[in-house]
A = this chain, B = another copy of it.
Amino acid sequence: MSSIKDVARLAGVSIATVSRTLAEPEKVSEATQRKVQTAIRRSGYVRNELARSFRMQRTQTILVLLPDIGNPFYSLIVQGMEEIAQRYGFRILLGDMQNRAGGEAKYLQTVSQRQVDGVISLGSTLPAIPQRKGSARIPLIMACEYLHDDAVTSVSIDNVAAAQLATQHLLDHGHTRIAFINGPATTPLSKDRLLGYRRALKRAGLSGDKALIVRGDFSLASGERAARELLESKARFSAIFAASDAMAIGAIKELRARGKRVPHDISIVGFDDIEFAQYVEPPLTTIHQPRREIGRAAMQQMLSELGAPVKPMQRQLVLEHHLVARGSSVPPRQ
């Protein structure tokens, strides 16, 4: 492999000039630039990014922590992030946490080893980012999930409002006994969705029933389990609001297995609007999250914190959601 030295020799200039031609061409005369450029072409030189990263202590790489790579919910978010990262010469290192608490640990190593410039987490817990003594702190941004803490930058939707909207939709159809399959209990996101659910019930003058609230982990299988739990609790309900489409789809399967028809016997509303939501039977009524946009915004914020010429945003960015009414929600049977 030819190095900057070969190029310098070929062009008859110093290595500093070659480096400058590449990084700050405005500091090099046009004639010299031409010489260097032809030398580069002739030698087939390509910059050794490893050497560069080492020297500059920057890798142009952002670690993206994914709770579960098998959940197609994240794909569009990642694509949005890629789009922006790409544009500014950054790369994404994807870390799959396999839906496990602490699954991020192995990836945080690469952080303390200075192999990434920043971290975007799609998970609910604040990863304990090992900060390098004596260096700038490594930026962390949360996407989708968030903390109610102004110090932590995040991009998400208004989950209270969204959950309220979903519940209201079922109330509008005349349902009064609405079950709720929430996500993992402790996260602010889940708390907010629970709050939105309760708020809608309350505004409708309903008291709500503890037995109608169960939990999953956003996965298909957990939705199935949650529905089973609901059915076995003997609590009556004519509709379910699930905090993810995957859980909604899992629930539908279980309901069917128990002889309930959807939506005829039980209406269902999901959350996320993943692609599959349109393809299940019945097509899923759900809350649409602007996934690509969330990814874009999170990455933009990251790059702005890293000094890229991107306009920074507010600390906690909240994007728009909306409800997509499809076939899974209808008025209750008499």
Residues of B close to A44: CB separation below 8 A: 133
**Copies per complex of this chain:** 2
Docked pose: A275 CA to B49 CA in angstroms: 39
B59 touches A82 (CB 8 A): no
A114 touches B50 (CB 8 A): yes
A1 touches B115 (CB 8 A): no
Closest to A72 in B: B72
Residues of B close to A16: CB separation below 8 A: none
Docked pose: A303 CA to B106 CA in angstroms: 19
A3 CB, nearest partner CB in chain B, Å: 11
Docked pose: A2 CA to B133 CA in angstroms: 8
| Most chain B CB within a 10 A radius of its CB, from A50, A78, A252 | A50
Q: Does A253 contact B (CB under 8 A)?
A: yes
Closest to A76 in B: B70
Taking A72-B70, A275-B220, A279-B249 as contacts, is the C-beta distance between A50 and B256 under 8 angstroms? no
A1 CB, nearest partner CB in chain B, Å: 5
Total residues of chain A contacting the partner, CB 8 A: 52
Among the listed stretches A88-96, A206-214, A307-315, which one makes contact with chain B, having 4 or more residues with CB under 8 Å of it?
Answer: A88-96
B75 touches A1 (CB 8 A): no
Residue in B1, B51, B71, B106 whose CB lies within 8 Å of A54: B51
Q: Does A317 contact B (CB under 8 A)?
A: no
Residue in B49, B93, B113 whose CB lies within 8 Å of A114: B49
Given contacts A48-B114, A92-B94, A252-B279, 18 further A-B pairs with CB under 8 A are A1-B114, A44-B133, A47-B113, A48-B113, A49-B110, A49-B114, A50-B115, A51-B54, A54-B54, A69-B75, A70-B72, A70-B79, A91-B110, A93-B94, A220-B276, A250-B279, A276-B276, A280-B280
